[in-house]
């Protein structure tokens, strides 16, 4: 676990930002990072935490899915709805986001595991488990198959045993 130096919150190894106060947990040594902060992240802190989330992370992105185990951003399509799973040779219907690069088979990710649906009119993002063999959860709470569950900034989305952190821009919080 990583301890935030601003609020002492415990986060998983590989998380870039504190889920409690939004402070950047992985700092660059020689560069000033251009950042912004959401008002809801302050939560009564008296400290100046204005240098928290790099703006470049969300440039031209609706939101970010960050792989916690491999410590990298997952490339997602610029669509309002897409499927997540793992590609298998000969598969007729393929996922829009292939998680094979992240040892998805070993972590119990189904070929078509879940759908992410973005509703730009209501500024909401939802996940739907597609009846996967090993299930899905948000922050440890299991998602019923074929049910639409909202995703919020800082949520940990788990497909089987594959964990991702959800990072949302200000407009979708």
- pLDDT digit string (tens) for 31-81? 433 344 444 444 444 434 334 444 555 455 567 888 888 888 898 888 889
Length of the chain equals 173
The full set of domains in the chain, from first to last, is 1-59 (no CATH), 62-172 (2.60.200.20)
Higher pLDDT, 5 or 40: 5
For residue 113, the Cα-to-chain-centroid distance in whole angstroms is 16
CB 17 within 8 A of CB 27: no
Note whether 102 and 67 are within 8 A (CB): yes
**pLDDT band of 172, cuts 50, 70, 90:** low
Share of the chain above pLDDT 70, in %: 66
CA distances (Å), origin 165, targets 29, 64, 89, 111, 138: 24, 8, 28, 21, 10
Q: Which of 50-59, 84-93, 154-163 has the lowest mean pLDDT?
A: 50-59
User: Structure tokens of 114?
Assistant: 């879940």
Q: Between residues 152 and 127, which one has the greater pLDDT?
A: 127
Task: Note the pLDDT tens digit of each residue in 13-24.
Answer: 666 677 776 666
Residue 118's pLDDT band (cuts 50, 70, 90):
confident
Token code pair at residue 151: 């995703």
């Amino acid at each position: 676990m990583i301890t935030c130096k601003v609020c002492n919150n415990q986060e998983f190894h590989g998380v870039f930002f504190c889920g409690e106060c939004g402070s950047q947990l992985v700092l660059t040594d020689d560069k000033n990072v251009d950042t912004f902060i959401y008002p809801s992240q302050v939560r009564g802190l008296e400290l100046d935490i204005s240098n928290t989330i790099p703006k470049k992370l969300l440039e031209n992105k609706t939101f970010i899915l960050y792989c916690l185990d491999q410590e990298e951003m997952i490339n997602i399509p610029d669509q309002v709805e897409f499927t997540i799973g793992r590609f298998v040779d000969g598969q007729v219907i393929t996922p829009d986001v292939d998680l094979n690069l992240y040892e998805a088979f070993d972590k119990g990710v189904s070929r078509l595991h879940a759908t992410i649906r973005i509703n730009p009119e209501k500024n909401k993002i939802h996940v739907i488990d597609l009846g996967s063999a090993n299930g899905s959860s948000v922050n440890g709470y299991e998602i019923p198959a074929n049910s639409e569950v909202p995703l919020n900034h800082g949520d940990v989305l788990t497909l089987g045993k594959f964990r991702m952190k959800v990072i949302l821009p200000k407009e979708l919080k």
